[in-house]
Chains A and B, each alone.
Chain A
Amino acid sequence: MKKLILTAAFAAFSLVAFQACNNSGSSSAEVENTDVVPSGTYNGTADKVDPDEKEVYVKTSDGKMLELYFTEQTKLTQNGQTATFDALKEGQNLEVTVEKKGNRLEPMAVNIMQ
């Protein structure tokens, strides 16, 4: 009985450790040191795109890193047409209109320039 409990405990924690390592190596790892900028429109490139979180990191032309989580209000366009999040790829040039709410940047409009 004692061996069974210990084996079960090791199995459980091996699973937890595997899951934890898997999390840390996932594509959704956060980028540190993002910036908060005033409301406005900015040009930059898509540094990292996370489809699972519907999140994009935009590196602006003046070197700021903006972390943008898409909401239901966010309008994504490409060539003047409404686009889905799948159209966003890393390295694309973007024009983003953001609204600063506290220390959060809400993307109101994102235009894929290329």
Chain B
Amino acid sequence: MDKVSAIWRTELWHPLSVHYPIAFLILSTILGILIFILGNRHNFETRLRFTMSLLLWSGTLLLWLAFYTGKLAYSVEVRRICDPFVLKNHLYWANVTSFVFSAATITDVLQKIAAIKINKLLVLVTVILMIAGSICLGYTGHLGASLVYEQGAGVHQPASDCSDYK
């Protein structure tokens, strides 16, 4: 087994890139919920609003990057896993998740521009979209885990006598 070239297998770029947006977006959703519930008590909103937006914006961009690397991995894995329908579902829900978080990001950007009167409504819309996106993200992750742990996607499987392992 060529260990150096194995690192650069196309299907491995996806797991390399996908965990950052998961962490960023889940954390931004938690912050969004806290900001909405607690409001500006103890300057909470003022202090954490920037962090939430930063995580949401960067997480969404990284999510699209992960979607792109996922499309590359798809072409490889669809030829060797046992159930391509799980892979197709994973791709579908990843697409839904990306669009929902993109919509949340757009409403968050609009908040920075919009008048104060509709600001509360936009906060609510953003938080609802982030919660919906996180639910989709969780299901997408579940399907991704199923691909890896049940079907061995992205996993090198040596020969039964390990003859290809040096």
Verify B83–A102 contact, CB threshold 8 A: yes
Assess whether A9 is interfacial by the CB under 8 Å rule. yes
Verify A13–B105 contact, CB threshold 8 A: yes
CA–CA, A62 to B118, complex, Å?
58
Verify A6–B64 contact, CB threshold 8 A: no
- Known contacts A2-B112, A69-B79, A71-B79; decide if A16 and B84 are in contact (CB<8 Å): no
Binding site for B on A (CB under 8 A): 2, 6, 9-10, 12-13, 16-17, 19-20, 30, 53, 67, 69, 71, 101-104, 106
Pick the residue among B64, B81, B109 that contacts A19 (CB under 8 A): B64
List B residues 77-111 near A (Cβ within 8 Å): 78-79, 81-85, 88, 95, 98-99, 102, 105-106, 109
List B residues 41-69 near A (Cβ within 8 Å): 57, 60-61, 64
- State the 10 A-B residue pairs at the shortest beta-carbon distance, nearest first: A102-B82, A103-B83, A69-B79, A9-B109, A71-B79, A16-B64, A104-B84, A102-B83, A69-B78, A53-B75
CA–CA, A67 to B32, complex, Å?
43
Main secondary structure of the interface of B (DSSP, over half): helix
Assess whether B4 is interfacial by the CB under 8 Å rule. no
Interface residues on chain B, number (Cβ under 8 Å): 22
Residues in A neighbouring B7, C-beta threshold 8 A: none
B118: min CB distance to chain A, Å: 17
- Known contacts A16-B61, A19-B64; decide if A10 and B109 are in contact (CB<8 Å): yes
List B residues 100-135 near A (Cβ within 8 Å): 102, 105-106, 109, 112-113
